[in-house]
Structure 1
Amino acid sequence: MAACGGGNDQPTAQPVAKPVVIAAPASEASAPVAASSPAASVPVASEAVASGPVEASAPVVASDPVPPRTVQIDVYGDDSMMGLTAMNYGMATITQNSEPNVSQKILRAQFPGVTIVNRASGGRASTLVNMMVGMDGGGPPFAQRIASSKAQIVLLNHAINDDLSQSLAPYTDALIQWIQDARNAGKVPVFEEPNPVCDGDHPHLENYVATMNNIAIGYNVPVIHQYQEILNLQDWKTHMWNCFLPDEYLLSFKAQRQAEALVPIVKAALGE
């Protein structure tokens, strides 16, 4: 039998047949018989022993875990998406439990490689129209920002400040251009409706929400619905600072809806 360690070229021992002794006739029984040499021992096949050392099996080493596949989501929006929850004497309160941060925690329970990058900017200049031309305080024109981004998915949540700044016509044009810029950069565009406000300074916000949804249908863009769902909450106004900025309760509500809507989009990005 060959040794399991290999490397031994000696032939395997073969069994040798024992000589057969023929009895002499009776008439020859009295003849002296010469003393014979002791017979050499004959190896038996079943007792053959392989020569050469047997190598021990190498220890099994666990391989490094495969890192999760990654998906980056860039989020653009205004104060509420940035996580601003109050403004007191010119000092802004920005929570760590912003909508993108909470949404990321929810998504990572299912997709460990998901990262949400919050690129929202605050102030009244933070509008969709301003962002498209680089006047929102968040960087160069949007086409340049998104072209250099590593994100696979890009999300838009602009409307509240646009209601203050311009009519629906430039907002509509900006929505269409935003979709085209995102797709030209190889990204999946996603709309998210704004939350409602009750400060009396945004009387046409519902029309901006309707415009967003109409554009989404025409250009086949997913929409994360927030506006009517928050209006359906009986106490939603009590969770608004100055009837304008949502508190952490409403941000968490929005984050849950955002994460749920992003699940199939993330799966598609991962090829699942």
Structure 2
Amino acid sequence: MRLRVLTPLTRGLRGAAGVLLIATVCGRANADAPAAPGGQALRAGPTAQVVIEAYGDSTTLGISCSEGHCSPRPQNAVTYLQDALRTTYGERVSVINFGVGGTMAYQLRDGTDRGRSVPWTQRLAASDAQIVTINYGINEVMHNQTPEQFYEAETALVKAALALGKEPVLQTSNPMPDGRLNARLAAMVAMTRRVAAEQHVPLVDQYAYISGLPDWQAMMSDGAHPRPELYRLKAGQDLRVVDPLVRRLLAGSS
């Protein structure tokens, strides 16, 4: 569940509209990126290279299911986002997929996400990334985390990133076809929105965007994981938020 694949993407992504996770359950996006909060992030001058690190669960990793078999696919939102950015900026931009299936936000915070087993603050301190995306929520539902626990974990992730000069971009989870689970997920989504508002960081509201799409359930491969076409839409929403941040970092560095 740790596979990280970066493959070429067609040019058709830019302008597409926007969709997150768990291996066990096999809205209209607020994609307006606010200015960097209080100068805490992206304060440095122009840079020649932008590194984006994508953290999250199996919907970040890029799992899709077919005929009862679920596995990471190269056609995932992180891959699509990188190729869309490289269409404009070339090799100056890299997006690295650190999604880990079956994990939750508190595990990333504590370094128990089966990734590098290093607490979040230490991991970011050693990272060259200027931008980090954070995508959790579905596993919190499946493992009976409370919204308050999720709020505390995401707040800690964002505050640590800001303190280290990174730009965190929060993403809400895609909705789940099961109505009961989706209602519980909505409470987690509300926490992600709350953290973004309180910490003044960019938000990609995939839950709202996808919930507003006609027959979005047909673009799900199972009870939690999108099909490639929905991952492509998710990347389109990510692009609307991330592109201005990348452009700001690269300004004057040609």
Q: TM-score band (shorter)?
A: 0.7 to 0.9
Alignment match, 1:264: 244
Alignment match, 1:215: 195
Alignment match, 2:138: 160
Answering whether residue 226 of structure 2 is matched by residue 252 of structure 1, we say no
Partner SS state of residue 104, structure 1: helix
Q: 2:64, 2:221 within 8 Å by CA — same for their partners in 1?
A: yes
Supply the distance in 2 between the matched residues of 1:147 and 1:159 (Cα, whole angstroms).
Answer: 25
Alignment match, 2:77: 99
Superposition deviation, residue 213 in structure 1 = 1.1
Supply the distance in 2 between the matched residues of 1:129 and 1:88 (Cα, whole angstroms).
Answer: 32
Partner SS state of residue 198, structure 1: coil
Amino acid at match of 2:215: D
Q: 2:175, 2:182 within 8 Å by CA — same for their partners in 1?
A: no
C-alpha RMSD over aligned residues? 1.7
Alignment of 1:42-121 (within 5 A): 69-86=48-65, 92-112=70-90, 113-121=92-100
Supply the distance in 1 between the matched residues of 2:218 and 2:155 (Cα, whole angstroms).
Answer: 35
Supply the distance in 2 between the matched residues of 1:131 and 1:122 (Cα, whole angstroms).
Answer: 12
Partner SS state of residue 70, structure 2: strand
Supply the distance in 2 between the matched residues of 1:250 and 1:156 (Cα, whole angstroms).
Answer: 18
- Higher RCO, Cα 8 Å, sep 6+: 2
Amino acid at match of 1:266: V
Alignment match, 1:32: none
Larger radius of gyration, structure 1 or 2?
Answer: 1
- Flag the 1:88–1:138 CA change in 2: closer, same or farther, 3 A: farther
177, 186, 202: which one aligns with 2:165? 186
Q: 1:224, 1:258 within 8 Å by CA — same for their partners in 2?
A: yes
TM-score (norm 1): 0.70
Question: Per-residue displacement from partner, 1:219-270 (whole Å, max 9, x unpaired)?
Answer: 1111012111111111210111223210001000101111121111112222
Alignment of 1:2-41 (within 5 A): none
Greater helix share, 1 or 2? 2
Q: 1:183, 1:189 within 8 Å by CA — same for their partners in 2?
A: yes
- Percent of counterpart pairs with the same letter? 29
Alignment match, 2:107: 130
Question: Per-residue displacement from partner, 1:149-173 (whole Å, max 9, x unpaired)?
Answer: 1101011011111122310111111
Alignment of 1:200-239 (within 5 A): 200-239=180-219
Supply the distance in 2 between the matched residues of 1:231 and 1:114 (Cα, whole angstroms).
Answer: 31
Supply the distance in 1 between the matched residues of 2:158 and 2:208 (Cα, whole angstroms).
Answer: 23
Alignment match, 2:150: 171
Supply the distance in 2 between the matched residues of 1:88 and 1:122 (Cα, whole angstroms).
Answer: 19
Partner SS state of residue 114, structure 2: coil
Alignment match, 1:64: none
TM-score (norm 2): 0.75
Supply the distance in 2 between the matched residues of 1:270 and 1:162 (Cα, whole angstroms).
Answer: 36
Structure 1 spans left out of the alignment, 5+ residues: 1-67
Partner SS state of residue 80, structure 2: helix
Superposition deviation, residue 87 in structure 1 = 7.0
Q: 1:164, 1:202 within 8 Å by CA — same for their partners in 2?
A: no
Structure 2 spans left out of the alignment, 5+ residues: 1-46
Alignment match, 2:32: none
